[in-house]
Amino acid sequence: MIFNFKKSTAKAVKLSYKYKVQSLPFLNFQRYSYVNVCMKWKKDSYFDSIEHIHESIQLKPIIALKNCIVRDPNGCIPISTVSKRGLELDVPVKVARFLRQYPSIFEEFTGPKYNLPWFRLTPEAAEIDKDEKRVYEECRGELKARLRKMILMTRENVLPLKIIQGMQWYLGLPNDFLQYPEQNLDESFKFIEMEDGLKGLTLDSGEKIYSAMEKNAMKRGLYTGGPMEAIEFPFYPSKGLRLRTKIENWLNEFQKLPYISPYDDISSFHRNSDIVEKRLVGVLHELLSLFVEHSAERKKLFCLKKYFGLPQKVHKAFERHPHMFYLSFRNKTCTVILKEAYRSNSAIEKHPLLRVRKKYIKLMKESEVILRNRRVKNRFYNCNAELDLDSNNLNERGHDMTSCSLEQVM
């Protein structure tokens, strides 16, 4: 990775600026010493090849269509039921065409009326769906805890329902999670009316919430849970990365700063201080650790800025800390990946739904084989039809023109 210093900002670098407020206990930490640099993106084939991350775009509409079929009492639906819901279900093409792209998941047959195409799940897909429901039932408490943590990271411990619905895929919540609050939520969650006319979900929690970083540091005996203690982030530099001295020195000082929990209030800190920068990185780290694939489309995270108190240019944090986050540009979108989650010594807990999604993706791959075999079979059938003796594929000597041409090629 190459660092290019901007001439316009190099002269205006602020080093070790301290605020003269004698009564503040964090006097020595309120500084802004970051050197403004332009970090060039470096490709990493390992993170670009993680299948369950980059196939998630295709898997999401598949799961949505699968749920439509499962909810029907008969376990099958006509194409007319979902043909006009493509935008709602995030289907990128015509729904019928999309369903036929995955014959290993969706089985097509002619319906009882009007010869319309109907679809049902294949036995393999139905079995995975049962496994998925079993995970939802057994891990209901863990899924609720992940939602609880996400809400408690906000400034006012409240999130609009539309934001939660938009993040359900990443949190691993079922689509109807909020429709049955008596089953999925406890009495600590409350539905409220927000200022802008939106309905929101809030909760009161008197217990101390520890982040993944804090839990890991406690296990290693590096953190006691006291205020203003320093916790170093796990860094995973890219191969061949050489940092300039100024950047390396800044990172070393950055690691020594106190770790402010994503669940603690930082209103008393200056927004341009390094300690707030470290808290921002901690929020992004904790947020991605809650997600199923420990990754998310970068643009999806922007909707959280208002409620999490994130800066306007929050995307700069991903660029300034390539040791922790990787930006993948596959599928014509930018996906943020938490590096730590994909290392052998990772302390981040795996999401219980990840195993089920990997099964769906494996079944998706089988569709490619089925479609390829169908194309080969159709070509073979067409070739036999052209070799009919009643056709004009014979030359003057009675030899088959097709077979002759093949012999010449051989």
Domain with 189, as residue range(s), is 140-206
For residues 318 and 310, give the distance between their C-alpha atoms in angstroms, rounded to a whole number. Answer: 13
Domain final position from 307, 326, 349: 349
pLDDT of residue 382: 65
Are residue 315 and residue 187 in the same domain, yes or no? no
Q: What is the distance, to the nearest Å, from the Cα of residue 223 to the centroid of all Cα atoms in its chain?
A: 29
Co-location of 157 and 260 in the same domain: no
Residues 221 and 198 in one domain: no
Question: Do residue 197 and residue 282 come from a single domain?
Answer: no
Query: Is the same domain home to 197 and 241?
Result: no
Distance CA 291, CA 288 (A): 5
Shared domain check, 302 and 169: no
The answer to whether residue 222 sits within a structural domain is yes
H helix or E strand, kind and range, residue 325? strand 325-328
Rounded-to-integer distance, Cα 136 and Cα 131, Å: 9
User: What's the confidence (pLDDT) of residue 136?
Assistant: 95
Q: pLDDT digits over 34-60, tens only? A: 545 556 678 888 999 999 999 999 999
- Per-residue 3-state assignment (H helix, E strand, C coil) for 328-362: ECHHHCCEEEEHHHHCCCCCCCCCCCHHHHHHHHH
Round the CA-based radius of gyration of the chain to a whole number and report it. Answer: 28
Give yes or no: residues 183 and 219 share one domain: no
Is 274 among the domain residues?
Answer: yes
| Residues 197 and 310 reside in one and the same domain | no
Closest CA to 256 of 286, 272, 232, 240: 232
Residues 186 and 240 reside in one and the same domain: no
Q: Is residue 273 part of a domain?
A: yes
Establish if 266 belongs to a structural domain.
Answer: yes
Name the domain boundary from 188, 206, 224: 206
The answer as to whether 101 is a domain residue is no
Edge-first strand listing for the sheet containing 335-338: 295-297, 335-338, 325-328
pLDDT value of position 385: 57
Domain co-membership, 295 together with 249: yes
Which of 182, 206, 230 corresponds to the end of one domain?
Answer: 206
- Same domain flag for 226 and 335: yes
Instruction: For residue 62, give both structure tokens.
Output: 């598949």
The reported pLDDT for the residue numbered 251 is: 84
The CA distance from 374 to 380, in Å, is 10
Position 28 in a domain: no
pLDDT, residue 354, reads: 96
Instruction: Check if the beta carbon of residue 308 is closer than 8 Å to that of residue 155.
Output: yes
Kindly report the pTM of this predicted structure: 0.83
pLDDT at residue 353, as a whole number:
96
Query: Count H helices, E strands: the chain?
Result: 17, 11
Instruction: Please check whether residue 87 lies inside any domain of the structure.
Output: no
The predicted pLDDT at position 208 comes to 86
Per-residue pLDDT of the chain (410 residues; tens, 9 = 90+): 444 434 433 333 333 333 333 344 444 445 555 545 556 678 888 999 999 999 999 999 999 999 999 999 999 999 999 999 999 999 999 999 999 999 999 999 998 877 889 999 999 999 999 999 999 999 999 999 999 999 999 999 999 999 999 999 999 999 889 999 998 998 899 999 998 889 999 998 778 899 999 999 999 898 888 888 999 999 888 776 666 777 778 888 889 999 999 998 887 777 777 888 899 999 999 999 999 999 999 999 999 999 998 988 888 889 888 889 999 999 889 999 999 999 887 889 999 999 999 999 999 999 999 999 988 877 766 666 555 544 454 444 444 444 333 333 33
Tell me the CATH number at 171: 1.10.10
Give a yes or no: residue 81 inside a domain. Answer: no
200 and 262 together in one domain: no
pLDDT digits (tens, 9 = 90+) for 309-327: 898 888 888 988 888 999 9
How many structural domains are present in the chain? 2
Phi-psi region of 129 (alpha: psi -120 to 50; beta: other; left: phi over 0): alpha
